[in-house]
A = this chain, B = another copy of it.
Amino acid sequence: MVEPGAYQQTIISTEEAAVIAREVRRLIREGDERSAWEQLRHLHPADMGSIMAALPRTSREAIVAVMSPDAVAWMFRHMNPVQAARVSARLGTGILSLALAQVNPRTALDILRRMPGSRAREVAEAIGQPADDPAVETTPLDTAAGFMVTRFPTVHPDERVESARVNLRRLSREDHNFTHVFVIDDDSQLIGQVAMIDLAMSADDAPITELIMPSMAPVPAETPREECARLQRHYNLTQLPVVEGGRLIGVIPSTFLLSASVAQDTEQILQVANVAGDSPDGPLLGSIRTRLPWLTINLATTFLAAFTVSLFESTLARVVVLAAFLPVVAGQGGIGGTQTLTLIIRAMALGELVGMRARRLLTRELILGLIHGVWLGVLVAVIAALWKQNLGLALVLGVAMLGNMAMAGVTGAGVPLLLRRIGVDPAVASAVVVTTVTDVCGFLLFLGIASAAITLIV
């Protein structure tokens, strides 16, 4: 068994990490697990963990076999719980239980809560956590309660700086991630906070009342993660106190708040493609469960587009060349609409549209759509005229393009605004609605105008 070396705070670039990962894989292939572990043991735990998580299962098991549970526990103690849970989900129950039994119970719980339910219960039982511990079972991870820690520095308002210093010394080193000491009365009611920097610069006998400041944004335990991330960004906060009936029950420290914020952004990015919760290296069944329902819903919308085209079969039968241009008008509309909705959804998430009038946003996107439509319409008409030597077709194509780009602008802005107003998350549903509208409208405009002006084209 190899013990972890001196903990060196070395940081490496992703390129260096990739080189080490390749070397580790090579050594394991050659059956030299000990040398492979030598490559990993001097790394920062965040790098050790992410390289281990990326290894194929058999290589990971080979590495874990030469690590002591101490080494695994040490790694977990120094990773953030979100990353630690990602690594844990990939380790065997045996080694994981031995390791988690060695980290402090609160850290173990933080990791367990982030693992898939059935695995978490299995490991919890193995390390003697009561299997029905309500904290493992029920704390929703997407609320303030799911991110808060329950050990934090406090001080009574009647005391002096010296007492705060004593209280701070009682915290373990794993709890050193605080920017404030919280001022609570005998009943744990949150009265205010003292900045760590103010404590650091004050004399021992300074009364706490001289340093106290109002606590920004105490949030209830059930506050959604999304709102915690917004408060942090909007008000520039480093941590959030969590309260229940005015009593301080937890604190979200800055690194956890950052994790919440990153997780929120990840969810937002993945939701636009409707793959939130999926991962490129998890179990296949999970990916199918996330993606297939969405692909099936989308099939319905493409059939709507197909139905639109089929309305014009007689026109297409007379001028089959029209079929080639179907993807041009619809595709450009889809891109234009997606540009607009991406901007609007992100601005919404950052709170930049608060108080802005919908009419102003819609008008602006309509004007932009018209400007883009004129340019693209002329361009597409010229290309079509040169390619197919058909001026009528060029004219129809140009007009349809102009119309669809204007439509794309209005829909791209209007759909997310409308969805938000009716209480649907715009990040989830906007893209499918907008592309369906630009597809159907593109086909209707192009084939409709072509049918009306068929004598110009034939």
Contacts and interface: CB of A to CB of B under 8 A. Distances in A.
Contact of A368 (B13, B284, B354): B284
Contacts of A298: 331-332, 335
Given A269-B269, A355-B54, A327 B343 contact: no
Contact of A269 (B279, B342, B365): B342
Contacts of A238: 177, 179, 238, 254-255
Interface string A352-374: 11111100110011011001100
A274 B213 CA distance: 44
Given A235-B44, A258-B261, A275 B321 contact: no
Interface string A42-78: 0010110011011110000000000000000000000
Interface string A320-349: 110111111011100110111011101100
Given A323-B309, A355-B55, A367-B284, A255 B269 contact: no
A379 B302 CA distance: 13
A113 to B, nearest CB: 18
Interface in A73-110: 79-80, 86
A200 interface: yes
Interface in A216-234: 216-217, 227, 230-234
A331 B310 contact: no
| Interface size bracket, A side | 35 or more
A299 B379 contact: yes
A55 to B, nearest CB: 7
A439 interface: yes
A17 interface: yes
A146 B330 CA distance: 42
Contacts of A356: 21, 54, 281
Contact of A354 (B17, B268, B310, B352): B17
Contacts of A332: 295, 298-299, 302
Interface stretch (A114-122, A162-170, A183-191): A162-170
Contacts of A418: none
Contacts of A11: 216-217, 231, 235
A18 B235 contact: no
A281 B325 CA distance: 33
Contact of A343 (B14, B196, B270, B325): B270
B347 A279 contact: yes
B305 A368 contact: no
Nearest to A79: B236
A134 interface: no
A42 to B, nearest CB: 14
Contacts of A54: 352-356
Given A196-B179, A217-B11, A343 B275 contact: yes
A300 to B, nearest CB: 9
Contacts of A306: 324-325, 327-328
A288 B261 CA distance: 31
A258 B235 CA distance: 11
B280 A46 contact: no
A453 interface: no
A204 B148 CA distance: 32
Interface in A16-34: 17-18, 20-22, 24-25
A295 B200 contact: no
B371 A288 contact: yes
Nearest to A311: B324
Interface string A408-420: 0000010000000
Which of A22, A332, A342 has its CB near the most chain B CB atoms (within 10 A)?
Answer: A342
A343 B280 contact: yes
Contacts of A331: 298, 301-302, 305, 439
Given A50-B355, A266-B346, 5 more contacts: A14-B230, A21-B355, A153-B197, A204-B204, A238-B255
11 contacts: A11-B235, A14-B354, A24-B355, A25-B357, A196-B196, A266-B350, A280-B340, A280-B364, A281-B360, A299-B379, A306-B324
